[in-house]
């Protein structure tokens, strides 16, 4: 049984108490014992591990190389093509890196435009071996949008699936292209072709960075580049493992896109733990439920929208036997969904909070979600956090402030210029939040999403939570629209549950019974679906005023 490490309460104490220090020692000992982190390594391979660290630095390439030394015959990736071992993955990525080296000019990046499959993993491992930045690209980009990002990030080699050939052709990109996934014969050079190159030892002058793009829900996507140092390994890796009970060798199914922060985090977690990474190119609830059972998956990573679809899948009969952990992230987990999932699947649900700029910062355990379903939990070990009011001072529990974080990642601005506000080494998340009496963190919404209607401040998330608690509502979105009298007024877009007939007046009456009158949406639109990003976030700007 995995003991839960009692996290430091937020605000983060600079000097841990004796109790906190003892909790850390006990939690660390149990983590090492239960996770399998200290898997025996032969003397020859043990001596090679420091050499790999010196060659690659703290990159995905290092995690892949270390896993190949420790678990060469263990399955690394299971996808629609079958399985590949860590040893095979290392051999292929080393050969691919050798071939890519001659295609890249100094300062150029490697772009990866792939769905979830081994080709994505190989491209990241190969690119990060070279000391060049690796840019993770959104598979929903249109041709022109793709072209702008490729130019801004100085991509010199683009690895992409064959299905995106048309988007690449209309992007204006003129650099080298490598095909990853393809159905039938492929045109041009493929990753399989590169894997036939004799691998050569590579020495780099710099440690490459992974460039994650922001979601672009409030503007054009921006590249947030990170170097992983000791502080990040503490908070993003070790601190995460202290909160979420992962085990070496246990299959992890990552359902969100690997180019997203949530998906990419668990790609690296699987490499570091030597755990099989189970991937499906497209999310299908019935297929995921079947795969969880067939592959004996112990950990499922998903965004809230995926959890909703798993709950609604007619194929769901019971919780898959091996499933111990379901990690939700990437978008807000509404309280009603958290309750439903816990009741259906048991106490396996964890809710992670973070951002492209800061990395993962807080995790709610099943106990947290039972006690307070809307919480994102407490900061993990090594994370410094503050909730600051307009005057720059910390706000007390129960009051809303802007969240500032330092989660160990080395973020100094976007790759194309610009950055975030900093206070005492902490980065502004742009999110507004509050603490409860137990020190649990709640996110109330984006600072720029707050609606001022008739002089009253309203946070859309609060109204959305109430709407989605209605048994006849599948999902809802709320935002402000211009109003001549009040400046702004609340508008709601509501998707009825299958087979349910709702009226506008019924919805308004339900909200009025739960919240103050000024929080009741003046406009309610019944729609069949909400516009979302590939990671399930609602694109509020795409909601029609008509």
How confident is the model over 103-128, as pLDDT tens digits?
A: 999 999 999 999 999 999 999 999 99
Residue ranges, the chain, pLDDT below 70: 1-57, 214-237, 356-358, 408-422, 454, 544-546
User: Strands 299-302 and 325-328, how do they pair?
Assistant: parallel
pLDDT at position 208 is 83
Between CA 435 and CA 444, with CA 440 as vertex, the angle to 5 degrees is 50
Contact 186, 162 (CB under 8 A): yes
pLDDT at position 394 is 92
Contact 526, 496 (CB under 8 A): yes
Torsion angle of C-alpha atoms 320, 326, 328, 334, degrees rounded to 10: 70
CATH number, span 450-542: 3.30.300.30
CA-closest candidate to residue 431, choices 395, 387, 463, 392: 387
Q: Output Rg (C-alpha) for the chain, integer angstroms.
A: 23
Spatial distance between the Cα atoms of 261 and 470, rounded to a whole number of angstroms:
31
User: Strands 109-113 and 155-160, how do they pair?
Assistant: parallel
Q: Which residues of the chain does CATH 3.30.300.30 include?
A: 450-542
CA dist list (Å): 502 to 142, 151, 227: 36, 48, 50
Contact 541, 218 (CB under 8 A): yes
Contact 298, 251 (CB under 8 A): yes
pLDDT at position 414 is 55
Contact 134, 208 (CB under 8 A): yes
CATH number, span 43-208: 3.40.50.12780
Q: How would you class 50 by CB atoms within 10 Å of its CB: exposed for 0-12, middle for 13-18, buried for 19 or more?
A: exposed
Spatial distance between the Cα atoms of 420 and 402, rounded to a whole number of angstroms:
13
Q: Tell me the per-residue pLDDT of 236-273, one tens digit each, with 9 for 90 and over.
A: 567 778 889 899 999 999 999 999 988 998 999 899 89
Spatial distance between the Cα atoms of 352 and 377, rounded to a whole number of angstroms:
8
CATH 3.10.28.10 fits 18-35+227-447, yes or no: no
Length of the chain: 546
Contacts for 123 with CB less than 8 Å, ≥ 6 apart: 96, 110, 112, 114, 134, 159, 178, 180, 191
Contacts for 152 with CB less than 8 Å, ≥ 6 apart: 223, 415, 416
* CA dihedral over 16, 20, 25, 30, signed as positive or negative: negative
* Other beta carbons within 10 Å of 231: 16
Q: Which residues of the chain does CATH 3.40.50.12780 include?
A: 18-35+227-447, 43-208
Residue 458, classed as helix, strand or coil, is: strand
């Amino acid at each position: 049984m995995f003991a839960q490490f009692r996290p430091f309460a937020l605000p983060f104490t600079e000097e841990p108490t004796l109790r906190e220090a003892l909790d850390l020692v006990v939690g660390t000992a149990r983590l090492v014992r239960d996770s399998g982190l200290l898997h025996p390594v032969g003397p020859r391979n043990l001596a090679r591990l420091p050499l790999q660290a010196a060659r690659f630095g703290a990159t995905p390439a290092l995690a892949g190389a270390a896993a190949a030394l420790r678990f060469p015959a263990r399955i690394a990736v299971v996808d629609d093509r079958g399985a590949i071992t860590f040893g095979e993955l290392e051999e292929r990525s080393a050969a691919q890196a050798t071939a890519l080296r001659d295609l890249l000019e100094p300062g150029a990046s490697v772009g990866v435009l792939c769905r979830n499959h081994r080709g994505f993993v190989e491209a990241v491992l190969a690119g990060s071996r070279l000391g060049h930045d690796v840019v993770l690209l959104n598979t929903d980009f249109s041709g022109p949008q793709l072209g702008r990002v490729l130019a801004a990030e100085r991509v010199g080699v683009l690895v992409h699936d064959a299905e995106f050939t048309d988007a690449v052709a209309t992007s204006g990109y003129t650099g080298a292209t490598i095909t990853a996934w393809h159905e039938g014969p492929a045109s041009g050079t493929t990753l399989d072709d590169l894997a036939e190159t004799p691998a050569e030892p590579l020495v780099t002058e710099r440690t490459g960075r992974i460039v994650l793009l922001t979601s672009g829900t409030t503007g054009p996507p921006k590249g947030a580049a990170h170097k992983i140092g000791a502080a990040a390994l503490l908070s993003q890796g070790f601190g995460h493992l202290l909160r979420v009970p992962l085990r070496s060798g246990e299959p992890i199914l990552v359902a969100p896109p690997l180019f997203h922060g949530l998906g990419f985090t668990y790609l690296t977690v699987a490499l570091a733990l030597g755990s099989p990474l189970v991937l499906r190119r497209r999310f299908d609830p019935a297929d995921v439920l079947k795969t969880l059972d067939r592959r004996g998956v112990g950990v499922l990573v998903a965004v809230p929208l995926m959890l909703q679809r798993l709950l609604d899948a007619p194929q769901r009969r019971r919780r898959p036997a091996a499933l111990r952990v379901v990690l939700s992230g990437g978008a807000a987990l509404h309280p009603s969904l958290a309750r439903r999932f816990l009741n259906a699947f048991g106490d396996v649900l964890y809710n992670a909070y973070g951002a492209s700029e800061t990395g993962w910062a807080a995790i709610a355990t099943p106990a947290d979600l039972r006690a307070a379903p809307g919480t994102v939990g407490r900061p993990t070990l090594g994370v410094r956090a503050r909730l600051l009011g307009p005057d720059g001072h910390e706000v007390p529990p129960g009051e809303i402030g802007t969240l500032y974080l330092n989660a160990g990642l080395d973020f100094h601005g976007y790759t194309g210029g610009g950055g975030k506000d900093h206070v005492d080494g902490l980065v502004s998340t742009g999110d507004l939040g509050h603490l409860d009496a137990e020190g649990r963190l709640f996110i109330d919404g984006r600072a720029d999403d707050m609606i001022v209607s008739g002089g009253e401040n309203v946070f859309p998330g609060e109204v959305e939570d109430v709407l989605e608690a209605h048994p006849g509502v599948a999902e809802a979105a709320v935002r402000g629209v211009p109003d001549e009298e009040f400046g702004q007024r609340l508008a709601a877009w509501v998707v009825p549950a299958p087979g349910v007939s709702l009226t506008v007046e019924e919805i308004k009456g339900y909200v009025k019974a739960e919240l103050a009158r000024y929080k009741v949406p003046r406009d309610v639109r019944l729609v069949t679906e909400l516009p979302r990003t590939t990671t399930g976030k609602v694109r509020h700007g795409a909601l029609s005023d008509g």
